[in-house]
Amino acid sequence: MPNKSNHHQGGHLTNKKTPVRKNQVQKGDTLIYALGGLGEVGKNMYCYEYENEICIVDCGVLFPGDELLGVDYVIPDYHHLIRMNKKRKFLVITHGHEDHIGGIPFLLKQVQIDAIYAPRFAKALILKKLSEHKGLEKVPIIEIDEDSSIKTRYFTVGFFNTIHSIPDSLGVLITTPNGSIVHTGDFKFDLTPVGTNANYQKMAYIGVMQPDVLMADSTNAGVEEFSISEKDVANEILEIMRNAKHRLIIATFASNVYRVNQIIEAALKCGRKIAVFGRSMENVVDIARKMGVIKIKNSQILSPEELSRTPDNEVCILCTGSQGEPLAALSRIASGTHRHIHLKPSDTVVFSSSPIPGNASSINKIIDKLFRSGATVLSKSVLTNLHTTGHASKEEQKLMLQLIKPHYFMPIHGEYKMLMQHRQTAIDTGMPPENIFVCANGDILILRNHELLQSDWRYQGDDIYVDGNDISGLSTAVLKDRRILADNGLVAVIIAIDSKENKILSRPVIVSRGFVFIKDSQALIKEAEFIVGASLQEKMKEKTTFSEIKNCIRSTLEPFLYKKTHRNPIVIPVILNSKQTMEEITKKRAAHDRSKRPIHSRRENNHREAK
């Protein structure tokens, strides 16, 4: 910990004391910090630390944008927790969305966690996730609900029901020796909800106890009005089902379990059977059926084979791809590449979702393809209530602030703009601006004797890119190369040398991919080969290493290519050490020549051998 009041010199503790600043971390402080979730929508991970215990709330992933070429997930940098491996750590999950549970397998591979506490539906999703990773099932997962309580040496953790787009969503009350913190998780207020209602009484009771800090969801801080009720969405979907004369295809978020259930219930009411497509959708429906959240008989679910034999007016296809994801079911349906579903002009396609920022263009491309096929396409607009959010709008955030009545406030879960909008909302409700802390990942707040302070110390809050199975963070360097390849291409320089004689056997050969059009750039390539050859001749007048030769090629070629083309391709030197290489080339040529001999001569040889 960064308490610098004592200094070790030559192994002895000095008596010299430096004055301790107020915002310097001291022994006995409760530390509050985020490793993910601030300045972004995703990879939520919030830590509460006291002495040798750390309470972690949520452990999510962030789905990468188009600029992160080939990256599967973005996770927080866990190095701080790895360094703190001697401290006791337990993980509390607020609900089962990927931006809150997706990072658990990556965390467990690197950090010792005593136990995971998760609500019922989230627990089922976590168990499914961990079953895909060997050796991680041994961490105990303890089911919690709003009546549960976790007691450790320094922490007491309680819960209250909130409303979100997935069952079993909880807010958290954390009590530490320095004060109490309310962490809302993702929430909204819906006065006619689908599923469990929020516990307004418990929230108001927590407010009466005057908690020190509120940390609240900021995703919809820029949305003015109360969000539409899920009941209104259910009625809209039912009306569309009743009016549709032919086949219905409905795309929504697989993670929006209540919406998925509403679509299924509406279809069954209208005498339609359900066909489910998309791996994540199939998983969620399967888990929700086992838990009794979705009630549908096997006879009411269509297999892909049964789909083609069922009349169109008795079919509802439920699929993923509402955000235009290229590999999702709806994208393949729109492109005509889906194995089981081929669009018909009579189809009605419904988007029961809103575009996530940045996805609008890919969604529009899908909608355009659907229109070209002649299908009727319905999406959320001012005229239709086909989607509602799972996050609190400005008015709902005010209600949470008024119910909890905290002394201090820290907006969480949102881009910087959202955090600042939430800050203004808190000021509008009467909270002093100096009591509001807008932080970045890694910033530390100190809770000391019911007072909240900004620390002069911070942890690393970097992103780690998960590329395939790699969670080392080394993919960051790989990504840099991918970007250069995408923008500037590659140039390989092949030279043959005799290391014993220390001489070049032939002039360098340059091959390029994605850099310039070779046929139009012969003069450039020839000039580059000449310049590299001259530079190497000079270099090899004295003994050199392979590394020095490679550096010579790069330092000669890179400035020349940039000067001529204003591009910086990746330059890859390929050095052939002649004698071995020439022997291998000779062998390959001989084998190639044998295979090219006329068939009749081979037959003669075989005939001789048979004799």
Decide which of 340 and 8 is more confident. 340
Q: 43: Cβ–Cβ under 8 A, 6 or more apart, which residues?
A: 36, 37, 60, 61, 62, 74, 75, 76, 99, 102, 103, 463
Q: Could you say which of 190, 217, 347, 467 is catalytic? A: 217
Q: For 241-248, what is the mean pLDDT?
A: 91
Number of Cβ atoms within 10 Å of the Cβ of 254: 23
Higher pLDDT, 583 or 367: 367
pLDDT at 12 over 60: no
User: With contact defined as beta carbons under 8 Å apart, do 315 and 309 qualify?
Assistant: no
pLDDT higher than threshold 50 for residue 334: yes
pLDDT digits (tens, 9 = 90+) for 145-175: 999 999 999 999 999 999 999 999 999 999 9
User: Is residue 438 scored above 70 in pLDDT?
Assistant: yes
Among 44-48, 183-187, 368-372, 467-471, name the one with the lowest average pLDDT: 467-471
Tell the residue number behind the tokens 């927080």, with chain if given: 76
Catalytic residue check, 391: yes
147 is catalytic: no
Question: What pLDDT sits at residue 6?
Answer: 39
Q: At 484, is the pLDDT very low, low, confident or very high (cuts 50, 70, 90)?
A: confident
pLDDT at 287: 94
Task: Give the separation between CA 297 and CA 303, rounded to whole angstroms.
Answer: 13
When pLDDT is cut at 50, 70 and 90, the band that residue 311 belongs to is very high
Confidence of residue 593 (pLDDT cuts 50, 70, 90): low
Q: What is the mean pLDDT of residues 284-290?
A: 94
Give which of 56, 109, 138, 129 is closest to 472, Cα–Cα: 109
In this prediction, residues 507-512 reach a mean pLDDT of 88
Give me the catalytic one of 95, 100, 387, 391. 391
pLDDT of the residue at 578: 66
Residues paired with 577 in a beta bridge: 497
The rounded percent of the chain whose pLDDT value lies above 90 is: 54
- Mean pLDDT, residues 304-327 taken together: 89
Is 382 a residue whose pLDDT tops 80? no
| pLDDT average, residue stretch 217-240 | 90
What's residue 582's pLDDT?
A: 56
Q: Is 472's pLDDT higher than 70?
A: no
Identify the pLDDT of residue 138.
85
Q: Which residue has the tokens 């790895």?
A: 82
- Three-state DSSP state, 94: coil
Strand boundaries in 463-601, DSSP class E: 463-466, 490-498, 503-504, 509-513, 570-577
pLDDT at 7 over 50: no
| 85-134 pLDDT, tens digit each | 899 999 999 999 999 999 999 999 999 999 999 999 999 999 999 988 87
Query: 42-76 burial by CB neighbour count: b if 16+ within 10 A, else e?
Result: bbbbbbbbbbebbbbbbbbbbbbeeebeebbbbbb
Asked if the model's pLDDT at residue 17 lies above 60, the reply is no
Position 437 scores a pLDDT of 97
Q: Is the pLDDT of residue 363 over 70?
A: yes
Q: What residue has token string 């110390």?
A: 457
Whether 410 shows a pLDDT value over 80: the answer reads: yes
